[in-house]
Chains A and B, each alone.
Chain A
């Protein structure tokens, strides 16, 4: 029996903000509930990640993604619940967990007064790699992240995306068995993002496990084999991108320009949402002919596309927001 890379059971986190800060800033925010200066960031999160998986953690700002990543990577004490990393309790047995993990922190920056090459190399050395391995891994990681040309300039002179690439290079170079990446591609151009995806796929082929957060849903879809959507400290849904899309009610989206009249016309074919310009019908391929027919007869210009993960996300989280409001 192989042991899970991450096995989290009912993890809760209540941040205690200082009392004086509490009375000054009391009030609800976008994420957890605020009560007398205490913020419940996680209210019972459970998840299981098997070795070699690439898993994405999605959710609105303040949903609790970073909080979960910090707890699972031994950087934050949970209020209750348990996280096992390769069978070791992150709270009681952090010394056994830490050699097995590496973390790209949210909004992290490399040492400004080191070059990317120095940054990656010295980090590997501090983790205990010998000089030869460290040098070889550094060269590989810099090449994979496409920052060789700037590898010998001080990081303070690099662009935001180049700095972020340096952070990712530092962490992927470890090839640690479990990598936590908190918004690793923020500020990166589309080429750099794809380079990160390729690196992460290669690492999981070699046996590493990856848990990442992102607000780019195309990235989540391209990269993660399984997704958890969290909202207000709870797991809303879990599954593959396809499974999440099926939950929306179909795999195709037909968009027809128009307002309420059009909406009424197409309502029988599936889930309808309207925005300022058009009505979007979520439907299955089997019904496509009928819908297009109807549109033609009414002289409406319909366009067809696949349902995106973004739509599935907006629906899943939107429903949760509505539930909370009512």
Chain B
């Protein structure tokens, strides 16, 4: 019998997170190539519009956290559909919430080193102010929480891997690249699109960081909108994923 008599939420998180981390670390090529899109876009910006490099660098950091959601989406679906290991863990004392968060956390730890390299490079070039550093850290956490929660929840509705690939990459690239994540808010046209971008998690985050880099960029109303929507979306999505992780152990 397992050592857990009862099941408080997140019971078993540590060991399962380490399991997922080990799984991810065996795929070192995936980790090594995880910066491809960011690197390509940064090279384009350096060549085409070097004055926007600062914005693109912080955007690349936010984007990196955002796309971890796509990895969770794929991993959760793969483990369930191809390996059926969700059944092994579902019918066990491991808390379902720990399964979700352990998977997201294991993937985060595996993919953190290249992101940290990016952060070090950005810091060397930009010399972040304290305000920018804090804004970047907090918004990164919020974007990560939103992205992995969303990825985990939607992964549960798919029945086969082939249908997932196009949706997952479309979603994360659409919301991570189309809005002003890699380019300045000032270039977003028409101006009526600004509130929409500020309401979407990755571009809300980059809006706040861009505003920290160049104070006064956003009106105080825009700052409230971006902060409020990012915090609310991240919290709501995370809480829903916690609820959903338990509820979805049992198929209907």
- Please list the residues of chain A having a beta carbon within 8 angstroms of any beta carbon in chain B: 16, 70, 73-77, 94-96, 98-103, 105-114, 118, 122-123, 125-130, 154, 170-171, 174-177, 180
The reply to whether A94 and B83 contact each other, CB–CB distance below 8 Å, is no
Q: Is the Cβ of B7 less than 8 Å from the Cβ of A98?
A: yes
B138 located at the interface, meaning its Cβ lies under 8 Å from any Cβ of chain A in the complex = no
Chain A residues within 8 Å of B85, by CB: 105, 108-111
- A99-B7, A127-B2, A177-B1 known; A109-B84 Cβ under 8 A: yes
In the assembled complex, how far is the CB of residue B146 from the closest CB belonging to chain A, in whole angstroms? 26
Pairs across A and B, CB under 8 Å, 10 listed: A74-B91, A74-B250, A75-B251, A98-B7, A112-B83, A118-B22, A122-B19, A123-B88, A125-B15, A126-B102
Q: A70-B251, A109-B84, A128-B3 are in contact. Are A102 and B91 (CB under 8 A)?
A: yes
Are A128 and B12 in contact, CB atoms less than 8 angstroms apart?
yes
Q: Which residues of A contact B19 (CB under 8 A)?
A: 111, 114, 122-123, 125-126
Which residues of A are found within 8 Å of B24, using beta-carbon distances? Answer: 113
- Could you tell me the distance between the alpha carbons of A102 and B85 in the complex, rounded to whole angstroms? 12
B240 to chain A: closest CB distance in Å? 20
A109:B82 contact, CB within 8 angstroms: yes
| Residues A98 and B23 in contact, CB atoms below 8 Å apart | no
- Tell me the minimal C-beta distance from A66 to chain B in angstroms: 10
Query: Which residues 35-93 of B sit at the A interface, judged by CB distance below 8 A?
Result: 79, 82-85, 87-93
The CA-CA distance from A106 to B94 in the complex, in Å, is 20
Contact B84 A77 (CB under 8 A): no
What 13 new A-B contacts, CB under 8 Å, besides A98-B7, A125-B18?
Answer: A70-B251, A77-B251, A99-B7, A99-B93, A100-B1, A103-B91, A105-B84, A105-B87, A109-B83, A113-B22, A113-B23, A128-B93, A174-B2
Contact residue among A74, A77, A99, A171 (Cβ-Cβ distance under 8 Å from B2): A99
Q: Contacts of B11 on A, CB cut-off 8 Å?
A: 128
Decide if B6 is an interface residue (CB 8 Å cutoff). yes
Q: A75-B87, A108-B85, A108-B87 are in contact. Are A128 and B26 (CB under 8 A)?
A: no
Please name all residues of chain B whose beta carbon is closer than 8 Å to the beta carbon of A76 when the two chains form the complex. Answer: 250-252
Closest to B98 in A: A126
Task: Please pick, from B18, B79, B92, B252, the residue contacting A127 in the complex, using a CB distance under 8 A.
Answer: B92
Taking CB atoms, residues of chain A closer than 8 Å to B144 are none
CA distance A130 to B4 in the complex (A): 11
Chain B min CB distance to A167 (Å): 8
User: Quick check: B249 and A75 within 8 Å, CB to CB?
Assistant: yes
Contact assessment for B84 and A127 in the assembled complex, using a CB-CB cutoff below 8 Å: no
What is the CA–CA distance of A56 and B30 in the complex, to the nearest angstrom? Answer: 43
Most chain-B Cβ atoms within 10 A of its Cβ — which of A114, A127, A130, A177? A127
Bound: A109/B82 CA distance, A: 8
Q: Is there contact, CB below 8 Å, between A75 and B91?
A: yes
Query: What is the number of residues of chain B that contact chain A, defined by CB distance less than 8 Å?
Result: 36
In the bound complex, do residue A110 and residue B12 qualify as a contact, i.e. CB atoms below 8 Å apart? no
A-chain residues with CB within 8 Å of residue B27 when the two chains form the complex:
113
6 closest A-B pairs by beta carbon, nearest first, are: A113-B26, A125-B15, A128-B3, A99-B93, A122-B19, A105-B87
**Closest Cβ–Cβ distance, residue A213 to chain B (whole Å):** 14
Given contacts A74-B249, A103-B87, contact A114 B22 (CB under 8 A): yes
Residue of B nearest to A131 (CB): B15
Residues of chain A contacted by B84 (CB below 8 angstroms)? 105-109
Q: Is the CB of A98 within 8 A of B93?
A: yes
**Contact status A171-B22, CB under 8 Å:** no
A-chain residues with CB within 8 Å of residue B182 when the two chains form the complex: none
Docked pose: A219 CA to B245 CA in angstroms: 37
Task: State which of B82, B91, B252 has its C-beta within 8 Å of the C-beta of A180.
Answer: B91
Selected contact of B1 from candidates A77, A94, A125, A176, CB within 8 Å? A176
Contact assessment for A130 and B1 in the assembled complex, using a CB-CB cutoff below 8 Å: no
In-complex Cβ contact of B4 among A75, A99, A105 (8 A): A99
| Contact for A176 among B2, B22, B82, CB less than 8 A | B2
Residues in chain B near residue A109, CB distance under 8 A: 82-85
For B174, the chain A residues whose CB sits under 8 A away are none
Answer yes or no: B187 CB below 8 A from chain A CBs: no
Are A170 and B1 in contact (CB-based, < 8 A)? no
| In contact, B91 and A111 (Cβ under 8 angstroms) | no
CA distance A166 to B108 in the complex (A): 27
Q: Does B16 contact A (CB under 8 A)?
A: yes
CA distance A109 to B18 in the complex (A): 19
Most buried by B among A77, A94, A125, A128: A128
Interface check B5, CB cutoff 8 A: yes
- Report whether A170 and B250 are in contact in the complex, using a CB–CB cutoff of 8 Å: no
Compute how far the CA of A118 lies from the CA of B92 in the bound complex, rounded to whole angstroms. 18
Interchain nearest-CB distance for A109 vs B (Å): 5
Chain A residue with Cβ nearest B24: A113
Q: Given that A94-B250, A99-B2, A176-B2 are contacting pairs, would A127 and B12 also be in contact in the complex, using a CB cutoff of 8 Å?
A: yes
Contact A108 B88 (CB under 8 A): yes
Give B235-252 as 1s and 0s: 1 = Cβ < 8 Å from A's Cβ atoms.
Answer: 000000000000001111
Q: How far is the CB of B78 from chain A (nearest CB, A)?
A: 10
